[in-house]
Amino acid sequence: MKIQRIETLVREQVAVVRVTTDDGVVGIGQTAPYQAATSAHVLHTMVAPLFLGKDPWDVETLVDECVRVHYKFPSSFLHRALAGVDTALWDVLGQVTGQPVAKLIGGHARASVPMYASSMKRSITPEEEAERLAGLVAAHGFRAVKIRVGEAMGRDTDAAPGRTERIVPHVREVLGTGVDISADANGGFSVGRAIRVGRMLEDHGYFHFEEPCPFPELEQTAQVAAALDIPVSGGEQDISMPQFQRMISGRVVDIVQPDIGYIGGMSRARKVAVLAEAAGIPCTPHCANDSLLQVFTLHLAAAMPACTQYQEWSIEHTPWSQGVYEPVLQVVGGAVPAPTSPGWGVTLDPAFEKTADITTSAA
């Protein structure tokens, strides 16, 4: 079995990847969303040539070789493109074996994956946010949620004056003590401000504090984690395995959050989860939208022993991420069952293919 054809299907912010082998097996994957056309261009010029004609069973070796060959270009776009091919190849292997990808990367560590309702909005008022989260808890049985505080990479600014100090106690008051609440700063705070916000989160019984400081500044995040009792999480933006090794071995974070689309695919995200397991810290993969990345993340969380906590479930439904695949995953009773169908267990929505711009690289 050899990789014969690699296609990208680009529609707005999504680039789906379709791999076909010489014996007709087809697998689907996806690059990380946003700037999809650029990711697709990088895929065809820098990634696909290293995979065409190769054995899909060598997926992890091929992924490592791609990163090695392009050592002068350790960019986010390279890893986004690589994630598209990697995830499509895992689907190929699942189709061939008749097994879900979760089984191929380790097996079912759990029968279902508990999810937290993850807000992506800072434009929403504390009152509106608390109301919609309470509605989701009631409708889908979520036992955990996450809000946004500060401003992304905001240098101690807030999305609205005083919003952080208002939303933290208000959401707790509305949801009560029966729901775990976390907060994400997206790198918005200095060390001092992050510690003060973290203590406020502790006072209101929050579950974890995500990316308090700019993500490249590991030393700043480490200072915050050392000063607080609330677990500090991070890692979503990182693409370097040595950086994850430093983050985990140096106890920079208490929870590590690789993103399958950003880091370069399932092969590399799985390795981060193994590092976390060895270090005895939880792995909670980042997943900020409801495209195919949500499917990939479900398989990772179902399989890896380190994924013991609530996993991220975006509650935003952007128009560009709708109608990509079927059947669409659903949260029932706060969880999603571990996948059992071959590969990713989903297929492309025919309407998506009809509206996408298709580019092909062939052996």
The pLDDT of residue 109: 98
Write down the pLDDT at residue 27: 98
103-337: in CATH 3.20.20.120: yes
Low-confidence ranges of the chain (pLDDT < 50): none
Evaluate if pTM is beyond 0.85.
yes
CATH 3.20.20.120 domain range(s) in the chain: 103-337
CA 337 to chain centre: 18
Q: What is the distance, to the nearest Å, from the Cα of residue 118 to the centroid of all Cα atoms in its chain? A: 12
Class of residue 356 by CB neighbours under 10 A (exposed 0-12, middle 13-18, buried 19+):
buried
Would you put residue 293 in left (φ > 0), alpha (ψ -120 to 50) or beta?
A: alpha
Give the model confidence (pLDDT) of 175-199 as tens digits: 999 999 999 999 999 999 999 999 9
Positions of CATH 3.30.390.10 in the chain: 3-99+346-362
Tens of pLDDT, residues 256-302:
999 999 999 999 999 999 999 999 999 999 999 999 999 999 999 99
SS3 category, 319? helix
Q: List strands edge to edge, sheet with 357-362.
A: 26-30, 14-21, 3-11, 357-362
Q: Between 218-227 and 241-249, two packed helices, what is the crossing angle to 10 degrees?
A: 20
What is the CATH architecture of 3-99+346-362? Answer: 2-Layer Sandwich (3.30)
